Structure 1
């Protein structure tokens, strides 16, 4: 029958697997082992306050689906959007800990509501390209036409027992504010839904022509600023549903090696 998966293609010991987002509320795992499915389910239950509506195989037995309550991947809903950043950040941390390395994110559909599929490779302990140091995670998202939101806590749920630098979020906010001021983008900053939100002058995420050049320059300066504090980009992910007239933008996930002792957290 058309669309059937040939028997010889059963994943078995596959070193590749995918994490994908569907509709406004669904997470699917393809070709991950059972222990990863169980760990992801436990993490979702602890990190996503609305909870899980249902779980189970989706189509062929190789894919497993979590249907969540609420709309983490929806177009509207700031609270759900911030919670979804925390959720995906902690799933990335969990997979990272289990030596599943993110290879790439990809759009595998032409539908305007399509979101990214994340492709992972399993590394053996001896060949893993992932650093062995303890790391922590930060999410950074654009919002509306003029906002940047930072999601970072003093404790990363995805890495039990790992306490982050309580003062580091203040350092991140201060340095990003200086960068935005230098480009005349900063309008104000405040807390919103347990995350910090910058409101920018103008509408940079809707800019055209010369204004779009300035916007891309801001993106470069943002990366330089984050790197100066030890953060590197791990993934940029389109995780929310857009409309036929209004595309959503990527959420950026940063990782840094956790400083030890009195190591300085800012080089700026």
Structure 2
């Protein structure tokens, strides 16, 4: 099987049927053996075995394993539609702490709470997730308060991503139970 590799960019992955332009401007076709020998020359820390499979360097086995708590847990808080917060996968006592934080930081307070397919959902008066208008500053305070409450309860923000394809749904914040060292703020703008 033929492989196409780019010889002027050392970080590229060797893949099937990939064409890259070299410094001279021409495509080079090489076989798998040539590409693996080129790879071995440039990356001495990453080794290949007899079957040309990737394996970790030998010094990896001497590294100390990272320390994690025995009962590592994950949960997610989603910002939905224009005025909803959902706690997914968290312990039930987190809902009461979040309720207190929301009421402390959001001037409109909570209008309703419900179980949404296993998630605890808070519906707020007003529209904090629009990101504009007179509620944009309190909305940022609310988002920061959510993270602050989670940190006080021993949850660390791992990542905030938009995993929903719905237009009115916003970010999802993923938390894990570890000892946090610092808190990061977030901004609810549509553009960077």
Structure 2 length as normaliser, TM-score? Answer: 0.57
1:198 matched to 2:119: no
- Is 1:10 equivalent to 2:9 in the alignment? no
Deviation at 1:143, TM superposition (A): 1.1
Relative contact order higher in (CA < 8 Å, ≥ 6 apart)? 1
Give the Å deviation of 1:137.
Answer: 0.3
Mapped to 2, the partners of 1:247 and 1:6 lie a distance apart of 43
Map 1:165-180 → 2, pairs under 5 A: 169-180=91-102
1:21-51 Cα distance to aligned partner (Å, 9 max, x none): xxxxxxxxxxxxxxxxxxxxxxxxxxxxxxx
Cα deviation for residue 238 of structure 1 reads 1.8
CA distance in 2, matches of 1:255, 1:133: 10
Match of 1:263 in 2: none
Whole-angstrom distance in 2 between the partners of 1:239 and 1:180: 23
Residue ranges of structure 2 left out of the alignment (5+ in a row): 18-59, 180-192
Matched length: 128
Q: Secondary structure at the match of 2:114?
A: strand
Match for 2:172 among 251, 254, 258?
251
The answer to whether the 8 Å contact 2:81/2:168 transfers is no
User: Cα offset for 1:60?
Assistant: 4.8
What RMSD in Å do the two structures reach over aligned CA positions?
3.0
1:146 CA displacement:
0.8
3-state DSSP of counterpart to 1:190: strand
2:67 corresponds to which residue?
131
Whole-angstrom CA distance in 2 between matches of 1:247 and 1:187: 19
CA distance in 2 between partners of 1:5 and 1:238 (Å): 35
Q: Which runs of 5+ in 1 are unaligned?
A: 12-58, 62-123, 154-168, 259-268
